[in-house]
Structure 1
Amino acid sequence: MKEARFPDSKLAVEAAELLREHGDDLMWNHSNDIGLPPAFRSDDKRFEVDGANAARDFLTSRGVPEEYIRLVWDAVALHTTIGIVEYKEAEAALMNFGVGYDVVGKNFDLISAEAREQVVKAFPRDSFKHKILHAFLEGFKHKPETTYGTINADVCEMLLPGYKRPNFCHSVLHSRWDD
């Protein structure tokens, strides 16, 4: 088996430099959440949208064609959206596959033990399970309302003291409509 290596195109190298500048080892080893670091974090948007906007700005500044930018935006914005993204373009579905594989071990046996060992050797997990949950929380604890209807609400419910998950049925029954 060939050794796992990082892409070395000019664009990939510049993206890696951006991640190294604004991320940490966790981001480097599992680079799918660029919307979490303070440099790209908004006060009012889902972290996935923050990441998609950061990716769009990065690609736009490098003259990447608009159709590719839209594809990347969708892939980043939808990377945690279970049950929808797999019906999008292959790039978006593959990003979601990679994230699901990395974060929760979805389809774990589709990749050989040898390949997994090689990737983990190059990009160590280093207590990933706990660190990623805390990184998620750090990225949106100041805007927990943006997690409504997402898997990120689970993070808030588990780790954010006093957080009460909004309930859709409650929202419908207590809407301002008089019926």
Structure 2
Amino acid sequence: MGKQISGIDVPDSKLCTEAAEILRENGSSLLWNHSHRVYLFGALQGQKCGLKYDAELLYIGAIFHDLGLTKRFRSRNKRFEVDSANAARCFLELHDVPKQSIQLVWDSIALHTTIGIPQYKEPEVALVYSGVGYDVMGENFHRLSAAEREQVVATYPRDGFKYKILPVFLKGFAHKPETTFGNINEDVCSCLLPGFKRIDFCDLVLNSPWDD
């Protein structure tokens, strides 16, 4: 903590250190490295776009964004993103963080898999989304230089990340696949969950109780 990677400072405040410890205790090395890459890739893109953002809030959004996949924080019936966001909210409330800041972090986490919306919100929300997209799908891959990528990955290795992350996603919501409706996580269920059948929006409309 407190180091600089590719010109980006990794926050080492008491709040950020405690958030990181929650991830270390409940996550895995894969989620640890991924979450830090999300912060760094988001911050690097924000720097290039000239965005002003709160580094602490961006870091905490990145650190908590996948905690809803873990045993401690996953619920029976909520989207994993909401579980992650709620965990962050509880943590920040315990530290008397202002409500506006808590809402920013909550939004950044809850919306990080919702394509087409977060990039138009506040910088902290947009940059968690951009960091996730960069690390998971290589979105806007050439926006960062090879040297920038290599410095981040040297510190927080990928270790076959793209082959390992989909089963990790599925494990987090295999018991509640209905929560992936209308979201990219539905693709994970379709790919990896035997017997999964998508909910079809058109069927819901045409089979609604309306008699018109």
TM-score range, shorter chain: over 0.9
* 8 Å CA contact 1:45, 1:146 repeated in 2: yes
The match for 1:152 is 185
* 8 Å CA contact 1:4, 1:122 repeated in 2: no
- Is 1:135 the equivalent of 2:139? no
Give the Cα separation in 2 of the matches to 1:78 and 1:3. 27
- Report the residue type matching 1:19 in the other structure: L
Q: Deviations over 1:78-99 (max 9, x none)?
A: 0111001111111101110000
* 8 Å CA contact 1:4, 1:118 repeated in 2: no
- Report the residue type matching 2:158 in the other structure: R
Q: Deviations over 1:112-132 (max 9, x none)?
A: 100100111111111111211
Matches within 5 A, 1:1-179: 2=6, 6-31=10-35, 32-179=65-212
* 8 Å CA contact 2:6, 2:151 repeated in 1: no
Aligned length: 179
- Report the residue type matching 2:112 in the other structure: H
SS in 2 for 1:162: coil
* 8 Å CA contact 2:67, 2:84 repeated in 1: yes
- The share of aligned pairs that are identical, in percent, is 63
Displacement of 1:6 in angstroms is: 3.0
Displacement of 1:30 in angstroms is: 1.1
RMSD of equivalent CA atoms: 1.3
| Bigger relative contact order (CA 8 A; separation at least 6) | 2
**TM-score relative to the length of structure 1:** 0.96
- Report the residue type matching 1:66 in the other structure: K
**TM-score relative to the length of structure 2:** 0.82
**Which 10-residue stretch deviates more, 53-62 or 31-40?**
31-40
Displacement of 1:2 in angstroms is: 4.9
- What are the ranges of 5 or more consecutive residues in structure 1 without an aligned counterpart? none
Give the Cα separation in 2 of the matches to 1:57 and 1:85. 22
